[in-house]
Amino acid sequence: MSVRVPKYRLHKATGQALVEIRGRRTYLGKYDSPSSHERYRQIIAEFMSATLASAPTPQKSVKPLQVDELILLYFQFAKSYYVKDDEPTNEIVAIRAALRRLRAMYGSTPVSEFGPKAFKLVRESLIQERLSRKYVNDSMARVARMFRWAVAEELIAPVVFQALGSVPGLRKGRTNAKETAPIGPVSDVIVEATLPFLPDVVADMVRLQRLTGMRPAEVCILRPGDIDRSGEIWTYRPSRHKTEHAGKDRTIAFGPKAQEILLRYLARPGEMHCFRPCDSERRRRSLRHAARQTPLSCGNKPAIETNSRSKRPPGECYSPASYRRAIHRACDKAFPHPVFHQRREPTLTDAERLELAEWARSVRWAPNQLRHSAATEIRRRFGLEAAQVILGHSAANVTQIYAERDSRLAVTIATAIG
């Protein structure tokens, strides 16, 4: 039976949280307070228990649950579970992608008949698409998680999930699945060569991230109100961060160089983001206007509105994806292909397009590589523990993934002992 889970909502007039069940509102206390969330979970648990208890017992003649029906039930649950600040998280996108192939191949199959062989065939179809081993393992783990949820909801027999658990994940060197190259640091020389081609706002984001080792998302959501400027060293507590769900705290320190960058972005309301695409676009238009030689009387007026043909206006906050795309565009300008850079894409052959795409992959770098660069430098200068603290890792082995072993120490030793 499909059950719609009532949402946790805000009553704007009173600032209270509420949940509405069958037309009856129950107020939960101050919105987003721990007690209101706890009360909400209690009410939902009681509601689901009562709903399931009142559901008619399925008869043997009822059509068995199919895979596509289970997918719909699970996705309905996931949309209410994987939510943060009333917005769906990226996990929803990943779940949708993982279940899409399962539904295409086995949607009409009874769940009780979906076993390890079918599970491995779905996995093999992902491998044939040249998707990475890690991506395939993550996708299939999400599929298995759906079956585990179904067992907990008493929708399927436990033996179905237990059978899928017998299939081991793909191991490195034991599969044809593609291996992705590990992400490493980006050279400061390459970063410096890219900066002139970045919008000023994005260039400052890059400089700040390189100094502090922040995650890309932590740079994007930075607001003046999140920064404590009472001490000589400023501290920043992101409103959201990667390990928040695990109860981890995250504090980022801003030294003199970082503070110098930030000063240009602090004269604004505390809740407004420091780095905004709309500010970057406004400055770009202003510079274009200043560079034009057409007199004001002949139509050379600064643009106020964005192009009505644009799909969407510049936003109030960069996302990690838009931040990355801005860097990639700058890389394409900073390191153009020696032959094709002056030709328009429609004039290229398929082979030339492939060559150009391969060139772009070789010269582009991503913002998370700045975190690796900072980790490597901090580890070299101050040790692994210092890098662990700066990056916000609870385990040193995670930090070692980011902080590549610097070869300079080996060179120094080799020089000393021959």
* Nearest-angstrom CA–CA distance, 373 and 186: 6
Kind of pairing, strands 227-228 and 234-236? antiparallel
DSSP character at residue 236 = E
Predicted confidence at residue 73, as pLDDT, reads 94
Predicted confidence at residue 3, as pLDDT, reads 66
Predicted confidence at residue 199, as pLDDT, reads 93
Reported as type and span, the H/E element at residue 387 is helix 384-391
Query: What would the DSSP string read from start to end of 203-216?
Result: HHHHHHHHHH---H
Predicted confidence at residue 366, as pLDDT, reads 94
Predicted confidence at residue 227, as pLDDT, reads 92
Dihedral sign for Cα 81, 82, 87, 92, please: negative
292 is written with which tokens? 């034009």
Cα atoms in the 13 Å half-sphere on the side-chain side of 299: 0
Predicted confidence at residue 59, as pLDDT, reads 53
Per-domain boundaries in the chain: 1-55, 67-180
Predicted confidence at residue 296, as pLDDT, reads 64
CATH number for the domain formed by residue range(s) 67-180 = 1.10.150
CA-to-CA separations, 22 to 54, 75, 180, 226, 344, in angstroms, rounded: 15, 22, 50, 40, 59
DSSP reduced 3-state for 72 = helix
Predicted confidence at residue 157, as pLDDT, reads 93
pLDDT by residue, tens only, the chain of 418 residues: 556 788 889 988 888 988 898 888 888 889 989 888 888 888 888 887 777 666 665 555 467 899 999 999 999 999 989 887 777 888 999 999 999 999 999 999 999 999 999 999 999 999 998 899 999 999 999 999 999 999 999 999 999 999 999 999 999 888 888 888 888 899 999 999 999 999 999 999 999 999 888 899 999 999 999 999 998 888 898 877 665 555 567 788 888 899 999 999 999 999 999 999 888 777 777 766 666 666 666 655 655 555 545 556 677 889 899 999 999 999 999 999 888 777 777 787 888 888 888 888 889 999 999 988 888 887 777 776 666 666 665 555 554 555 554 445 334 433 443 3
Nearest in space to 3 (alpha carbons), one of 76, 89, 108? 76
Predicted confidence at residue 415, as pLDDT, reads 45
